[in-house]
């Protein structure tokens, strides 16, 4: 299985207009701090799965040129995850493909976007595995907003998982995610910076250690971060200082990062 990060940023892309801080300067000068809205492509054999379709989706598809997309998995209905669905629909040349999400999000998106030409919604059930061609996917609920009806998901594929937007994991989700080879998690806020809807890098490291992740990749990194390389080193130092060991190195995702699992 092959993973490409199309975007690893927060709800507003980085760099930001008019900003002269170290993060935006690094992003502008070609460093790894440049971040489009979070999205990923998962490929296994001839199956290609897109996770989220935010406002940067056309730029992301042009850069990575997938030959086809077999399904879209939505994490949730916030704009940074769904605002590019119409663009994706126009970009697609193939027949109908499913967009997996929960019932309420599907209703809201149908109301917002009307009919699609190439996309249709397919309903998820918490922890209920389904197949996209040969690839088995298990959707797991995560806690992201305070509104209990608003659902947010992460996805497990074999020995890796992707959950880009949450502030806490339910107990059953934690059990499902124990001991995976590659654990991709929300690390939206920098070390010690708190936000009610997202994780801080230090909390993500502690959580991944509790999950006994072999490898942790933090994504969704926001504007509270210092430049990428400096942040990645500081997060590794935090883990070491707190005796949170991982068999493989902790990594801070960046746009274009590719992994094999």
Binding site for Zn ion (CB under 5 A): 16, 19, 21, 24, 78, 165
Shortest separation between residue 15's beta carbon and Zn ion, angstroms: 6
Q: Please tell me the distance from the alpha carbon of residue 75 to that of residue 112, in angstroms, as a whole number.
A: 17
What is the distance between the alpha carbons of residues 73 and 87, in angstroms, rounded to a whole number?
16
CB of 16 to Zn ion, least distance (A): 5
Q: Nearer Cβ to Zn ion, position 113 or 130? A: 113
Q: Which two tokens stand for residue 16?
A: 């930001």
Quick check: 98 and 71 in contact, CB under 8 A? yes
Q: Nearest residue to Zn ion, using CB? A: 19
- The nearer residue to Zn ion, 165 or 202, going by C-beta atoms, is 165
Comparing CB distances to Zn ion, the nearer of 16 and 103 is 16
Nearer to Zn ion, 11 or 182 (CB): 11
**Nearer CB in complex with Zn ion: 144/156:** 144
Phi and psi dihedrals of 112, rounded to 5?
-75, -45
Question: Rounded to the nearest whole angstrom, what is the least distance from the CB of residue 23 to Zn ion in the complex?
Answer: 5
Q: How far is CA 198 from CA 77, 124, 165, 221, in A?
A: 15, 23, 6, 10
CB-wise, 16 or 212, nearer to Zn ion? 16
Strands (E), the chain: 2-7, 39-44, 47-51, 71-73, 97-101, 119-123, 130-132, 135-142, 152-157, 160-163, 182-186, 215-219, 251-252, 258-260
Minimum gap (Å) between residue 172 Cβ and Zn ion: 21
In the numeric block, which tokens belong to residue 9?
A: 């940023």
CB of 30 to Zn ion, least distance (A): 16
Q: How far is the CB of 144 from Zn ion (least distance, A)?
A: 6
Q: Which two tokens stand for residue 218?
A: 């933090």
DSSP 75: S
Minimum CB distance to Zn ion, residue 166 (Å): 9
- 13 contact partners, CB below 8 Å, separation of at least 6: 7, 35, 36, 37, 56
Nearest CB to Zn ion, comparing residues 155 and 246: 155
Calculate the CA dihedral of residues 179, 227, 202, 194 and round it to 10 degrees.
-130
């Amino acid at each position: 299985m092959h993973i490409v990060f199309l975007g690893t940023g927060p709800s507003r892309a980085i760099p930001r207009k008019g900003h002269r801080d170290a993060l935006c300067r690094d992003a502008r000068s070609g460093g790894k701090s440049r971040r489009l809205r979070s999205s990923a492509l998962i490929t296994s054999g001839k199956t290609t799965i897109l996770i989220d379709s935010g406002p940067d989706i056309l730029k992301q598809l042009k850069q990575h040129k997938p030959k086809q997309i077999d399904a879209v998995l939505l994490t949730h209905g916030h704009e940074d995850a769904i605002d590019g669905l119409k663009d994706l629909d126009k970009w697609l040349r193939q027949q109908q493909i499913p967009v997996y999400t929960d019932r309420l999000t599907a209703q809201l998106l149908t109301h917002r976007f009307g009919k699609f030409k190439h996309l249709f919604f397919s309903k998820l059930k918490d922890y209920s595995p389904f197949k996209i061609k040969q690839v088995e996917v298990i959707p797991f609920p995560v806690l992201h907003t305070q509104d209990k009806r608003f659902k947010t998901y992460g996805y497990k594929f074999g020995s890796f998982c992707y959950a880009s937007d949450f502030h806490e994991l339910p107990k059953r989700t934690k059990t499902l995610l124990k001991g995976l080879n590659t654990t991709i998690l929300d690390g939206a806020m920098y070390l010690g910076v708190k936000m009610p809807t997202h994780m801080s890098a230090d909390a993500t490291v502690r959580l991944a250690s509790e999950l006994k992740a072999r490898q942790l990749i933090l994504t969704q990194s926001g504007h509270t971060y210092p430049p990428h390389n400096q942040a990645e080193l500081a997060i590794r130092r935090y883990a070491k200082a707190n005796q949170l060991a991982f068999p493989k190195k902790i990594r801070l995702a960046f746009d274009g990062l590719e992994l094999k699992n």
